[in-house]
Amino acid sequence: MEFNFENKVIIITGGSSGIGAETAKMFAQYKAKLCLVGRNESRLQNVAQHCELISGNVPLCILVDLIQAGSCEKVITKTIEKFKRIDILVNCAGKLKLGTLHESDIDVFDELMAIHLRVPYYLTQLASPHLIKSKGNIVNIGSSYLERYKPGFLPYNVSKNALEKFTRHAAMEMVTEGVRVNIINPGMTRTNLIHNLNIDEGDVNYAYDNLIAELGLKKILEPKEVAKLILLAACDMMPNMTGSSLKIDGAVIV
Ligand SMILES: NC(=O)c1ccc[n+]([C@@H]2O[C@H](COP(=O)([O-])OP(=O)(O)OC[C@H]3O[C@@H](n4cnc5c(N)ncnc54)[C@H](OP(=O)(O)O)[C@@H]3O)[C@@H](O)[C@H]2O)c1
């Protein structure tokens, strides 16, 4: 079994870092044409250069804050302008913000719902005419913590659960159009997600040590492994795999 992504046009939000960046590099190995979306210019350019070296194809880089008005439209318009089609949309952009009902501002909820639900919803809506033409597919990135109740994770978990429900519903709506929609739910993965909480290095290590203690395998996943599952969901080998929620987490103990 070999993947065939040659000349497929693939949009990856969150392509500048972590899981999205590894996914981009892996798609580049199969000569895909990439549209990489992120906010950090140097990281985005770095990933793009890496992909170009691997595939020979120059990625389209779109530097936007996706939760700002007009950003999702820009992603789809620019991709169509450059590549004339869309085959796969990977909704990977996301962030972790800790919060509780009583101690957090409503802005935390709004931001997480925006990046984990509204943005994938709107990009799906805008990309769907193109995906219907190409009989393409969408891969959303959720979280293996969907079923867990952990202090501080309320807004994050609610937003990822909403994305999971959206995935199943969208899959049902688009199945007759030949468009698949799936969600990958990774466990704790070594990326910039925890660093972006703006805590110092010692606290990052402390967080990882505590999180590792909860994991069946007692180790953090590497983003490459999650990327492999994303490619598996996005490939054409399983045309009936849609509306699926695929977990990869090393047997987290609930
Ligand atoms: N790491 C984990 O343990 C883990 C576990 C389960 C699920 N996930 C999910 O996996 C996905 C990828 O996260 P990661 O772990 O790879 O973290 P990461 O290394 O921090 O990457 C997050 C990506 O999302 C982008 N992003 C965030 N907010 C954005 C916005 N408003 N507009 C545009 N881009 C935005 C970031 O762009 P810039 O850096 O350029 O700003 C970055 O490319 C997220 O949806 C996350 O919730 C991660």
Residue with the larger pLDDT of the pair 85 and 205: 85
Which is nearest to 18 in space by CA: 167, 173, 222?
222
Compute the distance between CA of residue 20 and CA of residue 103 in angstroms, rounded to an integer: 31
Q: How many domains does the chain have?
A: 1
Q: What percent of the chain has pLDDT over 90?
A: 83
Both structure tokens of 40: 């950090």
Q: Give me the percent of the chain exceeding a pLDDT of 70.
A: 99
> Given pLDDT bands bounded at 50, 70 and 90, which one contains residue 212?
confident
Q: One of 30, 121, 122, 156 is an active-site residue; which one?
A: 156
Catalytic residue list contains 145: no
DSSP state of 114: I
CB contact at 8 A, 25 and 3: no
* Cβ of 189 less than 6 Å from ligand 1: yes
Q: Is the pLDDT of residue 219 over 90?
A: no
In a domain, 216, yes or no: no
Nearest to 139 by CA among 51, 30, 226: 226
What residues make up the domain containing 115?
9-193+221-248
Atom in ligand 1 nearest the alpha carbon of residue 114: 31
Q: 68: domain CATH number? A: 3.40.50.720
227 part of a folded domain: yes
Ligand 1 centroid – CA 193 distance (Å)? 6
Q: Please, what is the Cα angle at 200 between 197 and 201, to 5 degrees?
A: 110
- Sign of the alpha-carbon torsion through 60, 64, 67, 68: negative
CA-nearest residue for atom 34, ligand 1, is 38
Q: Is residue 204 part of a domain?
A: no
Whether the pLDDT of residue 52 is over 90: the answer is yes
| Residue of 12, 13, 19 to test ligand 1 pocket, by largest number of atoms within 8 Å of CB | 19
**Is pLDDT above 70 for 253?**
no
Please check whether residue 79 lies inside any domain of the structure: yes
Residue 91 lies in a domain: yes
pLDDT tens figures, 170-192: 999 999 999 999 999 999 999 99
142 belongs to a structural domain: yes
If DSSP codes are grouped into helix, strand and coil, which group holds residue 44? helix
Is 16 close to ligand 1, i.e. is its CB under 6 Å away? yes
**pLDDT of the residue at 60:** 98
Give the Å distances, CA to CA, from 209 to 96, 196, 243.
Answer: 17, 17, 34
Q: In a mutational test of the pocket of ligand 1, which residue from 25, 92, 229 has the highest number of ligand atoms less than 8 Å from its CB?
A: 92
Return the beta strands (E) in the chain as ranges: 9-13, 33-38, 60-63, 88-91, 137-141, 180-186, 245-248
Q: Is 155 in the pocket of ligand 1 (CB under 6 A)?
A: no
Ligand 1 atom closest to Cα of 38?
40
* pLDDT, tens digit, 9 for 90 and up, residues 92-136: 999 999 999 998 999 999 999 999 999 999 999 999 999 999 999
pLDDT score of 237 more than 60: yes
Domain assignment present for residue 201? The answer is no
| Residue 189 to residue 211: CA distance in whole angstroms | 10
Strand pairing partners for 181?
138
Distance CA(45)–CA(7), nearest Å, equals 21
C-beta of 19 in contact with ligand 1 (< 6 A): yes
pLDDT at 73: 98
pTM of the model as a whole: 0.97
Q: Looking at the DSSP assignment, which residues form a beta bridge with residue 99?
A: 153
Report the nearest-CA residue for atom 16 of ligand 1.
Answer: 18
Q: What is the pLDDT of residue 195?
A: 86
* Residue of 140, 193, 196 to test ligand 1 pocket, by largest number of atoms within 8 Å of CB: 193
Q: In what order do the strands lie in the sheet with 33-38?
A: 60-63, 33-38, 9-13, 88-91, 137-141, 180-186, 245-248
